[in-house]
Structure 1
Amino acid sequence: MPEKSVLDSTDKKILQMVQSNGRITNQELSEKIGLSPSPCLRRLKHLESSGTISSYVALVDPQAVGLAVTAFVRVRLDQQDDRHLAIFETAVANFPEVMECYLMTGDADYQLRVLVESLNAFEDFLRQKLTKIEGVAQVTTSFALRPVVYKTALPM
């Protein structure tokens, strides 16, 4: 868990820049935020070591790698005790199809974002993996037709 720290305007500028381009050089970054390279690098390293920046990734277009179906899956468990929550969370964390999983309030216990190649692949995922987890009582799925807004950068 990242330590909670107060971010000043320079830290926020750094975060905005690295969120939009994780491969930016320190020289480019320092020029864009108006800070010399050494203090810029120190601030960047502090943001990394504090856990504010948790990692750097490449964003891959799902369509380009054959993942044409996005499903939003709501799951209700038959019991919401610590044991059943842990069983479910451990299981879905190991499914490569599950891109995100949230413990929810409301009529579902969990909301998942699942990426698969096809409807047949989703059916296999549902029947062979998700519904076989101990304690799963109900599954409701909605399929995305197309993304309208998709952001990875947090607002600063």
Structure 2
Amino acid sequence: MEDSLDKIDYKLLRLLQQDGRMSNAELADKVNISPATCHRRLDRLFKSDAIQSVRAIVAPNKVDLSSLVIVGVVLDRSTPESFAEFEQAIVTMPVIIDCQLVAGEFDYFLRIRVKDMADFNQLHASQLLSLPGVRQIRTFFVMKEVVDNGTLAF
């Protein structure tokens, strides 16, 4: 299977990032190819993991999760075992919407959606402080989301 992407593939990806509900016929029309060719290309993009999934972006305030919190985590040891143990615990917590291993002052950044500050305080006391290997946690409450779930620019 050919893994390189061409101009049409990139255009399809950009269009789907803008509107994941666009039909195959609409996509085909916008990139000037037949619906059958479009379907084959999309199938190839899924199989090659260029498109990892298609899902709805839910408005957090509509499901009572309007507070976004970013948490910087410093582990007590920088060993592969401590990183693995921390990551194994994090992936079991559905409240964590993103977790990145980073270089610099922190080891990890977590993005967490909660109802409000009281909700976060309960989570902090009951789960975050007991994560394995954690030496320090710094919390940042997001006051305004300027860009969220932006599309990839390519």
Report TM bin, short chain.
over 0.9
Q: SS of 2:106's equivalent?
A: coil
Output the TM-score relative to the length of structure 1: 0.94
Deviations 1:30-71 (A, max 9, x none): 001111111111111000000110100000010111112111
Q: Which residue of 1 aligns with 2:22?
A: 24
Q: Which runs of 5+ in 1 are unaligned?
A: none
Separation in 1 of the partners of 2:92 and 2:119?
17
Q: Which residue of 2 aligns with 1:122?
A: 120
Q: Which residue of 2 aligns with 1:146?
A: 144
Separation in 1 of the partners of 2:6 and 2:117?
47
Cα contact 2:95–2:113 (8 A) shared by 1? yes
Q: SS of 2:104's equivalent?
A: coil
Separation in 1 of the partners of 2:40 and 2:113?
38
Equivalence map 1:43-82=2 (5 Å): 43-82=41-80
Separation in 2 of the partners of 1:58 and 1:67?
16
Separation in 1 of the partners of 2:38 and 2:67?
41
Deviation at 1:4, TM superposition (A): 9.2
Deviation at 1:24, TM superposition (A): 1.3
Separation in 2 of the partners of 1:149 and 1:83?
35
Q: Which runs of 5+ in 2 are unaligned?
A: none
Q: Which residue of 2 aligns with 1:6?
A: 4
Deviations 1:1-20 (A, max 9, x none): xx993211100011011111
Q: SS of 1:55's equivalent?
A: coil
Q: SS of 1:132's equivalent?
A: coil
> Identity of aligned pairs, percent?
35
Cα contact 2:89–2:132 (8 A) shared by 1? no
